[in-house]
Structures are given as C-alpha cells and as structure tokens.
Amino acid sequence: MAEVAQNLPPIEELFDPNSQDYMENPVPQCLALARRGPIVWYEPWQAWIVTRMPDIMACWKEEPLSSDFYDWEFAPPRPPEEQWSNFERAMIGHSLLAEQEHHRLVRRVTAPAFSRNVVDKIQAKIEPEVQKLFDALGEPQVFDYKEAIAQHIPFISITRMVGIPEKYWPEIKQVVMTFTEAWNPTISDEQREAARQDSNRAIDIIREVIAERRSAPEQDDFLSTLLRIEAENDGFEEGDIVTLILALIGAGSDTTLVAQQWSVYALLKNDRGEIAKALASPDAFSNAFSEINRWGVSSKMGFARYAPRDMEFMGQQLRKGVMVLMMPHLKDHDPDYYDDPETFDVERVFDPDVMFGYGPRYCIGAALAKRQLYLTLSELFRRFPDIELAEEPERDPDDHNAVVFRRLLLKTNLAG
C-alpha cells in the first residue's frame, strides 16, 4: 500500500473528518490516510497520526506516551494544587489521567465490579426501564428512534446502572453531553472551559451522592460496588470513584448515543438475516457490535496521547507535548486487514478485538455498555419484528467526535 510521499498531495487535502464527504462515506479518506505511512503528520490538528494496528497495539500495551491531557502542548497550564477545582482534584492523579502504577492498581481492584455476576444484576435493574420506554412509545407507524428511545438511555444508565438518584437528573443532564469535551483537543478554549464547569458541577453532585450512599451502601448498582471496593483496598480513594463514575457517565451518554444510532442503522441497512444472529445472546451481540462499529466507521479522531518529553517515536523526533493520535478505525475497510470488508457479517472473527482498546487502558466498562445496547435492541426487534428505515438519515455535522444522524426515522409496518 506504500506510495512515494513526494508524489502525493498534502494529506489534509485527502483527509478531513469534518467534511461532508467524510460524513457521507469516510472509507476513501481513511484508506488514503492509512496509505500515507505508519505515522503521518496532520497539520490541521498539529498532531502525528499512527495508522496501523501493530503500532497502535504496541503503544496501548507499552505506554511510551502520556495519556494526561495536561501534558499536551496546547493544554491550559496545570494549576497548582491550591487552585484546583473539583475537576482538577478528580482528574489529576486519579484513574483517568493517573500515572501507570496507580492506573493499574485501580484496574486490578475494580475488576470484580465488572464481573458477569455484577453485569447480570445491573441488567435486572435496567431491563424494566427499557421496557417502560417502549411502553410509552406505543405502536406508531413511524417514529424517530433517536428522539423516542436513544436519548433516554443515558438517564437509565446514570440513574439505574451507575446509581445516581433520579432527583439529580435535571442538574447532571448537561454534563451528559459535554463531559467528553473537557479534554477534546479540537474544540475552542471557550467550549472546553464550559465543559470543565459542567464537570465541576457533576463532581459536586457525585460527591453528594457518595456521602448519602455511605450511610446506605447495600444497593445493586455500580456506585455501591465501588464503595465496597474502596473499603477493602488501600490506595483506592474517593477521587478514583469520582473519575470512574464520570467515565461511566461519559461512556453511558455520548458514546452510547452514537452506538445506539449506528447499531439500529447497521442492522436495518444490511441483510435482515444478520439481526437474529446478532441478538441470539449477549455474547453473540458482543461480537456483532464489533462488526457494527467496523462497518459503520463513525469515528472522526481516535485516541489521543502526548509526548511526555522530547523523544524518538516510530522513527520520528517528537517534541515534548505534541499530540499523537491512534486511529484504529483506519483499518476497518482495508482489504489487507479484513477479508471482504464491505460485507456486514456479525459473526466475523475479531482476533484480537480492539474496539474498546487494548492492554492496560482497555475500556473497563465495555461489558456494561454492550449489555445495555443488547437489551435495548432486543426489545426494539421483539416489539417491531418488521421494522425498517423510513428514510436514509441525514448526517449531523455538529458532533465533535463522531459521525451521527440528525434523526433516525423508523417505519414499524404494524398491521392496521
């Protein structure tokens, strides 16, 4: 796939994830970027892009780069401790931006919180809530899945699965949409500061909930499980609980909204025989969701890391603080990586499956996210077995990190 670089146009002329062409069909642009080489300088983002899976997996596993947003050369200055708000207090030194040794401690002690037994208990809490959503929907001939179902799933996730009481929903709702922007490198300083303030308020609420829960800890939700882990493990602190809850809020909102849309779209856009195979069991759907994600190519950016010092990396001299983006989605329609990549096959073998990362920074909440999706889609196709797309959905250019739809109109084909 290699081409002579000097004979090629600048990569920013071929790859622009904010363009209309990318939203309509990102595959040609992703392949053009991957063909440019294993590591590519992308001027618009002032970042190096790592394009190939062996290099990305090695970076995830060995962690030569920093995952701390404050190590980015264009990040706001790291404030001194006496000036920390709730946001800095939770982010600096705790699980999301922690140094490697502490991060691995957090993963080790919290592993039981993501066991199949815990996931099954949480499923029992959210399944009735999903059914209530569809009860309220009734039996329309046409409806917008995004408005009627998908946008309500974060509420179910945060209140029932995570364990934030419903009374806090009006206050915490804003952070559902902006939390993941707090360290997004492509947005303006003003947007980032607004997201930081939303996160500060959310952390206030989480700390209130933790204080309440300490007096009544025996509940089947993620927060109660983390409080039990805290009591049993030195080094795992309330700040770690806060950052894990924030991560689940982010994953259960922004990421889940994207996953809901693309899962329904992919299953309805392709051979309907794939639906039954995808929903045959939670394990079958886990694999099917990897195929949904591969086929859809909804990502715009990838995973950001930062050079912790002036260093050599993959044959390039990196200056301290420069961003390095790992883009595993560039491979998703590459025939050198996948056989017959244009075919949607929910039984496709993924070895390894890197959709939720790899190595020490693998997404710890992956099982929870996929189970929630499985429950919602199972209910959708149980109630509306003949459902189909009512139109080809228009892409929404405003999302900062993913290709999403303005609406997702579905036709139920119910008799009568």
Residue 399 placed within a domain: yes
Structural domains of the chain, count: 1
Let me know if residue 51 belongs to a domain.
yes
Boundaries of domain holding 346: 5-411
Does 286 fall in a domain? yes
Q: What is the DSSP letter of 225?
A: H
pLDDT of amino acid 411: 98
Q: Determine the pLDDT at residue 364.
A: 66
For the domain that residue 288 is a member of, what is the CATH number? Answer: 1.10.630.10
Residue 179 confidence (pLDDT): 62
Distance CA 196, CA 90 (A): 12
Q: What are phi and psi of 224, to 5 degrees?
A: -60, -40
The predicted structure's pLDDT at residue 408 = 97
User: Is 332 among the domain residues?
Assistant: yes
**What is the distance between the alpha carbons of residues 306 and 111, in angstroms, rounded to a whole number?**
27
Residue 16, exposed/middle/buried by CB under 10 A (0-12, 13-18, 19+)? middle
Q: What is the pTM of this model?
A: 0.86
Task: Write down the residue that tokens 């909440």 correspond to.
Answer: 365
Q: Which two structure tokens, joined as six digits, stand for 370?
A: 């996929």
Give mean pLDDT in consecutive 10-residue pieces for the chain, a chain of 416 residues.
61 93 95 96 95 93 86 86 78 58 75 75 84 96 96 81 83 67 70 80 87 80 86 86 78 75 96 96 92 92 92 97 95 94 95 70 71 92 97 88 92 88
In a domain, 300, yes or no: yes
396 pairs with which residues across the strands?
A: 404
Q: Of 1, 6, 27, 232, nearest to 14 (Cα)?
A: 27
Structural tokens at position 277: 């195979």
Q: Is residue 171 part of a domain?
A: yes
- 86: closest CA among 280, 300, 254, 239? 239
In a domain, 416, yes or no: no
Q: Which run of H or E residues covers position 42?
A: strand 39-42
